[in-house]
Structure 1
């Protein structure tokens, strides 16, 4: 059933109506699911308007799949979601990166080790301008990733500077 749902647009925030359309559920169902699934916490702004982020839309689609397609009860779906969240946290703690839906890009037939050992990736003190540029880019990426309140591996990374 999830294949018949529309693609999620590249936006930062979605209204409850947009999420309902993207996930095939009514807004009152989304409000109810917020009470039942503690992981689902949309941001609330003026007038208690809800704004969902991309990861929350994916979570709602997962909840919908568990309830409507796989036949879980609310309690069973809640337990399954907690189990999935714990598995994801464990993988992040162990340094595993979840790349579901990401294509691997090959750069002129070079391996990652070849690229890391190349002069283009040299960030030693002999190349301070490259080190400073890399540091700025990593900090920008970290800031983009930390827009939500979830843990990201870069939060604990030690960036030379």
Structure 2
């Protein structure tokens, strides 16, 4: 019996090596998904766009391997449909965008407060 991965909930998958690009065969082994399924998912999930080089060979980057693992988890472990998984990934992207915007606003607020404090300190020193 394989141990469950707490991050994705899937059966233990091999660690992803520190490489820039992975072939479809390597991704298939790393994610536990057959190559024809990966090619199908490319059509269904717009976020999945491997680089295509000579002879139309696909090369996946690290973030795409992580995305494939997430898709696999949604479909196989959580029981989502393709459409449901697509929606969930879209919601995650929107949530991440909102968090990034909030972080940017907080950084600007902190910079304004810092400037105000420095101005006040300079006025008190003089």
Calculate the TM-score normalised by the size of structure 2. 0.72
SS of residue in 2 equivalent to 1:94: helix
Residue 67 of structure 1 deviates from its aligned partner by 0.1
SS, match of residue 86 in structure 1: helix
Higher relative contact order at CA 8 Å, sep ≥6: structure 1 or structure 2?
2
Which residue pairs with 1:110 in the alignment? none
Match of 1:35 in 2: 43
RMSD: 1.3
1:63 aligns with 2:71: yes
| Mapped pair 1:13 → 2:21 | yes
Which residue number corresponds to residue 93 of structure 2? 85
Unaligned residue ranges in structure 1 (runs of 5+): 97-161
Q: Displacement, 1:30?
A: 0.3
1:94: Cα distance to partner? 2.7
Rounded to whole Å, the distance in 2 between the matches of 1:87 and 1:44 is 30
Greater helix content: 2
Number of matched pairs: 96
Pairwise CA distance, 1:89:
2.1
Structure 2: state its 5+ residue gaps: 1-8, 105-126
Aligned match of 1:4 in 12, 29, 44?
A: 12
Q: Aligned-pair distance for 1:12?
A: 0.6
Shift of 1:93: 2.8
Match of 1:44 among 24, 42, 52: 52
Rg: which structure is higher? 2
| TM-score in terms of structure 1 length | 0.57
Q: Distance in 2 between matches of 1:41 and 1:28?
A: 15
The list of structure 1 runs, each at least 4 consecutive aligned residues, that deviate by more than 4 angstroms after superposition, is: none
Cα deviation, residue 3, structure 1: 4.6
1:91: how far off?
A: 2.0
